[in-house]
Structure 1
């Protein structure tokens, strides 16, 4: 077996490409993570309705929005407001929905669009934040 005389490592071009790819990934991470953190707080806000699940049918839509809005203020959720909440009352349950999308510019005219669909069902209060199709 013949050993090479010199070791060859990463070339300058290879290093530049690697650094560009890592930089792009880190930039995307820094721009997208806040949207996912806000969505996690929105899910927690919807889950906070579980505390009052017995009274949810007697609460008005405005009271439900106010309760979630207070949670948003305390947890500094700025991307969405309680006005974006849709409340659907059915015979046997109440659905509180928050469907939205967040558009984050990456560079020039390239954007990342993240779609979130959170549903709280009073019949399944602990299975929060799954869309109707997954329940």
Structure 2
């Protein structure tokens, strides 16, 4: 009685490893971009929860925002990416920035991120 062996060949295993390796490599490029974005969202949320923040001037609000970002190691957000404008009884903060990371050879991964937070007098803001 002859038994047939079944399973993956060495070439098939190498191909599967190569595909998995490409996805892991792409994840290593994308995860820091999204981690930074969630750090921006956390900074905006904590800023809106600070008591009396809507009574401060926009320059002070921006300074407090960047102090929170410094803790999160968010290096891609610059002052020109932050817009603070009057809205109703407070402010609206809009952070819009782009991150570009090299992927393979001449291919880049580009992420465009935008976060908005309302800061109102009397209570914390809502997204």
Q: Secondary structure at the match of 2:112?
A: strand
Cα offset, 1:66, TM superposition: 0.5
Distance in structure 1 (CA, Å) of the matches to 2:101 and 2:112: 11
Q: What residue number does 2:57 align with? A: 60
Post-superposition CA distance 1:100-133 (Å, at most 9, x none): 12112110111111121100012594543xxxxx
Moved more, 27-36 or 92-101: 92-101
User: Which residues of structure 1 form unaligned runs of 5+?
Assistant: 129-135
Cα offset, 1:82, TM superposition: 4.0
- Please state which structure has a larger fraction of its residues in strand: 2
Give the direction of change, closer, same or farther, for the CA distance of 1:20–1:121 in structure 2 (3 Å limit): same
Q: Secondary structure at the match of 2:4?
A: coil
Give the direction of change, closer, same or farther, for the CA distance of 1:54–1:10 in structure 2 (3 Å limit): same
User: Would you say how many aligned residue pairs link Structure 1 and Structure 2?
Assistant: 125
Pick aligned residue for 2:45 from 47, 64, 69: 47
Q: Is the 8 A contact 2:94 2:114 kept in 1?
A: yes
Pick aligned residue for 2:118 from 121, 130, 135: 121
Q: Is the 8 A contact 1:65 1:83 kept in 2?
A: no
Q: What residue number does 2:73 align with? A: 76
Q: Is the 8 A contact 1:72 1:81 kept in 2?
A: no
TM-score, normalization: structure 2?
0.84
Q: What residue number does 1:131 align with? A: none
Superposition CA RMSD, Å: 2.2
Post-superposition CA distance 1:62-86 (Å, at most 9, x none): 1011101111122222121344211
Cα offset, 1:52, TM superposition: 3.0
TM-score, normalization: structure 1?
0.80
Q: Secondary structure at the match of 1:78?
A: coil
Larger RCO, structures 1/2 (Cα 8 Å, 6+ apart): 2
